Amino acid sequence: MKDIDQFIASIHRYYSKKEDFFLLESQMHNHPASNNSFIALGSSASVKAFGNKIQLKEHGKEITVDQNPWEALQEFKRRHNDEWIFGYLSYDLKNFIEDLNSINEPLLETPDLFFFVPELLIKIDKYNNVEVLKGALEDDLSLTEIKGHVSLSQIQQTTKAAYLEKIKVAQNLIREGEFYEINLSHPLEFEFKGRAWDLYQKMKTSGPVPFGSYIKHSNFEICSSSPERFLSKKGSLISSQPIKGTVSRSDKDDQSKIQELLNSEKEQAENLMIVDLVRHDLSRIAKNGSVGVKNLFEIQSFETVHQMVSTVEAEVKEGISAVEILKACFPMGSMTGAPKIAAMRVIDELEDYRRGIYSGAIGYFSPEDDFDFSVVIRTAIIQKEKLFYPVGGAITYDSNPEQEWEETILKAKALTNIVN
């Protein structure tokens, strides 16, 4: 494993000057969700969206047009259907699916959508076999790893009182029947010094995940340690793996922790709500009778926690494009609540920031029209020496507001502890 880590580090060091550097890294080879890792470098063509302002780079030309971003992505993918395409979808693309608005100002100047066709593409399978799928590697790559120092100084966060008040409002709306569950979050803002790449490596070392990603584009970088698959497609089979339910691991009696999570009626109820939501989303684009739950309440183990994961699968209808599949299920229900539209509307009212990349999806399309996208959680977004790290959790009628606040602070420590 160390050799492959050094190989990836040397690729980053040699090619870090390129505007687009995209690493999707499956860091847990024995994990059920483990997949291939990819390094995608440079851009021969790209599409990005700021609202309905679409910037296209193709054939050496750059143009800007007014268009629905989902339609722009659909057309871009159609023009490059025989290529690998990498990118991300921001949470705010929901506004171009349903009658929704983002009333808050964005924290960062990042595109709502960005996808590109790489000039150089490297695949690393779960056995650490390396294959160059496109382009050619330089012969003189140095394998000497260089580590740098990173530091964080917190600038701003939502106050405890303000967050508790938001939970209170949400629970009143739940009792009034507006929705059953809502995912509320708040952003932490830090002054960041160092290289984002070094932060990504620290995140990886402290807690490997099946969906790690490091992205450098234009003037921002993303470091993501996501355990959760949003949606994948292989042939006609589509699969989603929502996570709801977490318990910390124990050195003394880890098995009892697993049983504690398995037997928790609260965690099961929250997980089942999201499973039903995902089943509903998939039914829009699935063959009749094909939507099913493959695994319900499966416990998956990570470095510091056990999590409750369910797997929902379906056979896609003929004639439905990959982009249409993503659009039908976006954003992931575990990041909104249920029912989804009602929850998203209230999220915009209660939260003080526009989520942007957080709660969106990161992934790729293959030339075979397959794809794999992770949920953007446990993710730091860095721009102009500012780092944003949103944290949140699911709120139900019987949630304890104090505990929910403490849970978000605990999630924040997952970042601050590895740096400090």
Structure tokens at 313: 């699968």
Angle at 101 between CA 99 and CA 107, to 5 degrees: 155
Instruction: Determine the pLDDT at residue 143.
Output: 56
The residues that bridge with 39 in the sheet, in sequence order, are 23, 122
- What's the confidence (pLDDT) of residue 144? 61
Contact 210, 26 (CB under 8 A): yes
Q: Which two tokens stand for residue 259?
A: 């049983």
All structural domains of the chain, each given as residue ranges with its CATH number in brackets, are: 2-137+154-419 (3.60.120.10)
Q: Is the peptide bond before 339 cis (omega within 30 degrees of 0)?
A: yes
Distances (CA, A) of 341 to 26, 68, 91, 94, 335: 32, 19, 13, 9, 12
What length does the chain have? 420
Closest CA to 335 of 181, 214, 221: 181
Report pLDDT for 245.
87
Question: At residue 96, what are phi and psi to the nearest 5 degrees?
Answer: -105, 10
Two structure tokens written together for 31: 């994990």
- In whole angstroms, how large is the CA radius of gyration of the chain? 21
Phi, psi values for residue 355, rounded to 5°: -65, -35
> With the CA atoms of 248, 310, 225 and 27 taken in that order, what torsion angle do they form, in degrees rounded to the nearest 10?
100
pLDDT given at position 154:
87
Strands 229-234 and 61-66: unpaired
Residue 107: which of 336, 335, 381 has the closest Cα?
A: 381
Identity of the amino acid at 343: A
Q: What is the DSSP string of 252-305?
A: S-HHHHHHHHHT-HHHHHHHHHHHHHHHHHHHTTBPTT--EEEEEEEEEE-SSE
CA dist., res. 348 & res. 98, Å (int): 13
Q: Report the C-alpha gap between 166 and 184 in whole angstroms.
A: 8
Query: Cβ distance 185 to 351 under 8 Å?
Result: yes
DSSP 8-state class, residue 146 = -
Q: Which of 297, 321, 319 is nearest to 309 (CA)?
A: 297
Residue 334 dihedral angles phi and psi, to the nearest 5°: -65, -15
pLDDT of 399 reads: 93
pLDDT tens, residue order, the chain (420 aa): 568 898 999 899 888 888 899 999 999 888 888 889 999 999 999 999 999 999 999 999 999 999 999 999 999 999 999 999 999 999 999 999 988 988 898 889 999 999 999 999 999 998 899 999 999 988 777 656 667 789 989 887 899 999 999 999 999 999 999 999 999 999 999 999 999 999 999 999 998 999 999 999 999 999 999 999 999 999 999 999 999 988 888 888 889 999 999 999 989 999 999 999 999 999 999 999 999 999 999 999 888 888 999 999 999 999 999 999 999 999 999 999 999 999 999 999 999 999 999 999 999 999 999 999 999 999 999 999 999 999 999 999 999 999 999 989 988 988 998 887
Q: What are phi and psi of 246, to 5 degrees?
A: -140, 140
Distance CA 87, CA 361 (A): 9
Q: Are 150 and 190 in contact (CB under 8 A)?
A: no
